[in-house]
């Protein structure tokens, strides 16, 4: 019984701490089921061929071989159908996971230079992970390669407002917040909209602005998406965090957005899933998921701004603008 438990544990999925991770697990299961069907089919075909063309039945070799192509064509057709099913299933799951409005709002914010406090730029290098966060203004500063140096590893343009309060963390834990959503059920006479999602900070700001009882909102069990804008400064690396079901290559010259919705605070191991040099085995890091309030305090401490908390509490008016 203990052996059976060990086998089950060895083939079970690792801990899941991502709201959408179940879809990834479903995709993995679907792919392996299709692989199992192909494996069993080919094994049956293999032993059928061994039996049909056994030496006792065919003592003399026939150089012409099989004259009918029916079986061969049927098997090839079945393989093609199975591969098409695999492509369709994989495409559906990938589209469902990637192209969600909540996630793409963050990607668009990065590309358009809009406010988004929940985007982290992660740059891989031999053999470490470095992070660049927006400051309390919610804007990631512009980067220029000619500015990269020991005192400015990300090449941030500091003389622009968007980059003046940005936070850099080198070769240390990557910090991300766990932000629960409050869904507006009844906006009352406020500027809020029914169905609008507010973070804890935004909810408290709206309560302070409109007063208690001015609107109704409930925590709906969903969490805010976190986007990591991934790149590399030397060779190809791969950002892999199993509990979050995230694995994405970091490629020099490309900024690749990945996103996830953490559901549990804690420290989770980052590994590099691409052979990147003689120090590849020690290229490990930690992504630390912390509560929203702790995130606000951490950001304030790192940015060194006395007004960080007020600016981080984005008002609904600012958000709609």
Residues 60 and 171 grouped into a single domain: no
Whether 4 is covered by a domain: the verdict is no
Which residues have C-beta within 8 Å of that of residue 315, sequence separation ≥ 6?
Answer: 202, 205, 206, 209
Residues 189 and 119 grouped into a single domain: no
Residues 255 and 300 grouped into a single domain: yes
User: pLDDT digit string (tens) for 19-33?
Assistant: 888 888 888 888 899
Residues 281 and 241 grouped into a single domain: yes
Residues 301 and 274 grouped into a single domain: yes
User: pLDDT digit string (tens) for 50-59?
Assistant: 888 888 887 7
- Check: pTM over 0.75? Answer yes or no: no
Whether 253 is covered by a domain: the verdict is yes
Task: Give bridge partners of residue 125 from the DSSP assignment.
Answer: 128
Q: In this model, does residue 291 exceed pLDDT 90?
A: yes
Map tokens 């070799």 to a residue: 61
Integer Cα distance of 272 and 129 in angstroms: 10
Where residue 262 sits, what CATH number does that domain have?
A: 2.60.40.420
User: pLDDT digit string (tens) for 205-218?
Assistant: 898 888 888 888 89
Write down the mean pLDDT value for the chain.
81
Q: Kindly report the three-state secondary structure assignment for every residue of 233-260.
A: CCCCEEEEEHHHCEEEEECECCCEEEEE
User: pLDDT digit string (tens) for 72-121?
Assistant: 888 889 889 988 988 888 888 777 766 654 555 555 555 555 555 578 89
Residues 161 and 217 grouped into a single domain: no
**Quick one: average pLDDT of 254-269?**
91
- Residue 308 banded pLDDT, cuts 50, 70, 90: very low
- Residue 62 banded pLDDT, cuts 50, 70, 90: confident
H/E stretch holding 161 reads: helix 161-164
> What's the number of domains the chain is made of?
3
Residues 209 and 244 grouped into a single domain: no
Give the Å distances, CA to CA, from 268 to 197, 254, 314.
27, 25, 29
**Quick one: average pLDDT of 24-50?**
89
How, if at all, do strands 174-178 and 256-260 pair?
Answer: unpaired
Q: Containing domain of residue 62, as a range?
A: 21-99
Q: What are phi and psi of 198, to 5 degrees?
A: -120, 140
Map tokens 């701490």 to a residue: 17
Whether 107 is covered by a domain: the verdict is no
Residues 218 and 271 grouped into a single domain: no
Whether 5 is covered by a domain: the verdict is no
Residues 131 and 171 grouped into a single domain: yes
Where is the domain boundary, 49, 70, 99?
99
Whether 301 is covered by a domain: the verdict is yes
**Token pair in block for residue 53:** 């063309």
| DSSP class of 139 | -
Side by side, the strands of the sheet bearing 128-133 are: 167-169, 128-133, 119-125, 226-232, 256-260
Give the Å distances, CA to CA, from 208 to 115, 214, 315.
22, 10, 10
Whether 108 is covered by a domain: the verdict is no
Where is the domain boundary, 188, 222, 256?
222
**Quick one: average pLDDT of 177-201?**
88
H/E stretch holding 3 reads: helix 2-11
Whether 57 is covered by a domain: the verdict is yes
Integer Cα distance of 313 and 136 in angstroms: 9
Residues 212 and 263 grouped into a single domain: no
Map tokens 């990631």 to a residue: 140
Check residue 98 and give its pLDDT.
Answer: 64
Residues 75 and 175 grouped into a single domain: no
Whether 9 is covered by a domain: the verdict is no
| DSSP class of 117 | T
Residues 142 and 191 grouped into a single domain: no
């Amino acid at each position: 019984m203990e052996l059976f438990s060990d086998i089950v544990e060895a083939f079970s999925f690792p801990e899941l701490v991502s709201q959408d991770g179940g879809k990834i697990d479903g995709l993995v299961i679907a792919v392996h089921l299709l692989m199992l069907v192909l494996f069993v089919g080919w094994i049956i075909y293999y032993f059928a061929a061994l039996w049909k063309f056994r030496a006792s039945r065919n003592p003399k070799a026939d150089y012409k071989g099989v004259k009918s192509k029916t079986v061969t064509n049927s098997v090839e057709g079945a393989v093609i159908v199975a591969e098409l099913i695999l492509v369709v299933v994989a495409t559906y799951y990938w589209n469902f996971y990637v192209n969600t409005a909540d996630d793409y709002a963050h990607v668009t914010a990065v590309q358009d230079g809009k406010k988004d406090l929940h985007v982290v730029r992660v740059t891989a290098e031999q053999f470490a992970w470095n992070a660049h966060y927006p400051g309390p203004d919610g804007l990631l500063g512009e980067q220029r390669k000619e500015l990269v140096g020991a005192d400015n590893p990300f090449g941030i343009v500091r003389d622009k407002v968007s980059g003046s309060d940005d936070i850099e963390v080198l070769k240390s834990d990557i910090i991300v917040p766990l932000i629960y959503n409050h869904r507006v059920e009844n906006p009352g006479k406020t500027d809020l909209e029914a169905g609008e999602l507010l973070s804890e900070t935004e909810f408290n700001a709206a309560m302070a602005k409109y007063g208690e009882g001015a609107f109704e909102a409930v925590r709906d069990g969903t969490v805010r998406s976190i986007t990591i804008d991934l790149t590399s400064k030397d060779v190809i690396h791969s950002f892999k965090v199993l509990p979050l079901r995230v694995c994405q290559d970091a490629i020099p010259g490309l900024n690749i957005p990945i996103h996830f919705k953490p559901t549990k605070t804690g420290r989770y191991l980052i590994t590099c899933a691409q052979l990147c040099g003689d120090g590849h085995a020690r290229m490990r890091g930690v992504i630390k998921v912390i509560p929203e309030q702790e995130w606000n305090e951490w950001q304030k401490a790192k940015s060194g701004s006395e007004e960080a908390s007020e600016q981080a509490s984005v008002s609904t008016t600012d958000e709609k603008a």
